Structures are given as C-alpha cells and as structure tokens.
Amino acid sequence: MIAVIISAHNDEARLPACLRAVREASRRRRLGGEAVLRLVVLDACTDGSAAIAREGGAHTLSLQVCNIGAARAQGAQWAIERGARWLAFTDADSVVAPDWLSVQLALEADVVCGTLGVRDWGQDGERMRRHYEAHYTDADGHRHVHGANLGVSAEAYRLAGGCHPMACSDDVALVCALQACGATIAWSAAPRVATSAQRLFKAPSGFGATVQRIDAASRILAAQESA
C-alpha cells in the first residue's frame, strides 16, 4: 500500500485543490491496482480543514504540536502501522501532478526528492518568477529537498530513524540520514508539485521563507536595474 501524507495547518482555503490532485494521482490504474491511503495530518488547526479533509475522502490525524517534523513523523508512523510500504509527503497548500505517485515509483529508488514549481506568485509575480527561475535548479540532478515533494520507502524510512520533531528542515535532516544509511536517492524533476507563494509561512527555513527572500532579492535587483 502507498500512503500520501499531507501536512496541514489552517489550510481550509487551499486544501480542497490539494485533495483533488492527490485523489487524481491515486487512481489505481496508474499504480497497477495498488491501494493508496490518503492522510491529512491536522496540526493545531482551528479552521475547517478537518471537515474538508473528511469530505475529500481522506483519513485525518489531529495533533497539537505546532511542529512540522513531529507532524510528519506521526503521520508516517500512522501509515506504516497500517501497512504502507511507500510514503509520499506533500503539503496542504500544494498541488501534485496526476502522475506524481506513478513517477515516484517508476524511478525505483529508496528516496525520491522532487522539485517545486509555484502556482501563483501574486503581486509583482513576473519579477519574482524571473528571479526564482534564474536561481533554482528545476532539472534532474538537482539537490533540493522539499517536504512538499518527497517520497521514501517505509523500509528506508525506518532504517534512517524517521522524521525528527524539528520546527523546520526536518525534510533535509531525513534525507541526510537516508544518505548516511546508504539509501538510493533519485534527485528528479519528473514528479511535479506546484505550491503556493504565501508570505505568511510556518517554518522559518521552509519554502515560504525562501519566497520571502526571493521577493527581497528581486526588489533589490529591480531597483538596481532602474537606477
């Protein structure tokens, strides 16, 4: 069985699109008939995310830890206890491609680290998009680690000790531990995920913080070009 673990924190506006995309990627004909368990880990949610997750056909796990690493760890453990052999991680503000899961599995690696695209840059989007594309490697052989586009076999996950309760960079720590264990890693741009460019980010070193840095850097560059 495959498990998709979706991290959520007050994401009721973005979660429906995420769930629709995961449901499409979970269609069994693409996966040789293998079952897919969809789990939304609700961390300190005070909005309607829980109801939306259940209406979308997903299992839910409610926590009050305010910690992305702990949330992913508990979600992974929940899935493994129910027989998952492959763990695919994404976030509630992200949309996976229809072939996201099938591409992960086709790479035949212990770990698949994918890249991230951005759905909507919002205000000043063209300026930020140009800066992002100039400084981000969206190609095979990249060395990016994103919790919103990460797959790992349950066996390798257990061997590496799983996710740790870190407020940020838990995904990087996990991949480092997997490397130390000798896991085979596919650094691939084939599994596609598009995420939001939200400025109100939850992890101080996560993708939202990267977006804020891109915004600041691109503003400086624009000012220099116009000077």
**Residue-level pLDDT at 206:** 52
Give the domains, in start order, of the chain with CATH numbers. 2-226 (3.90.550.10)
- Dihedral sign (CA 55, 56, 61, 65): negative
Taking only the tens of pLDDT, the chain with its 227 residues reads: 999 999 999 999 999 999 999 999 999 888 999 999 999 999 999 999 999 999 999 999 999 999 999 999 999 999 999 999 999 999 999 999 999 999 999 999 999 999 999 887 766 667 777 878 888 999 999 999 999 999 999 999 999 999 999 888 899 999 999 999 999 999 999 999 999 876 434 555 455 554 544 444 444 444 444 54
Report whether 193 contacts 94 (CB < 8 A).
yes
Helix ranges (DSSP H) in the chain: 15-25, 49-55, 68-81, 100-106, 125-135, 154-160, 170-180, 207-226
**Residue-level pLDDT at 219:** 43
Query: What φ, ψ does residue 171 adopt, rounded to 5°?
Result: -65, -40
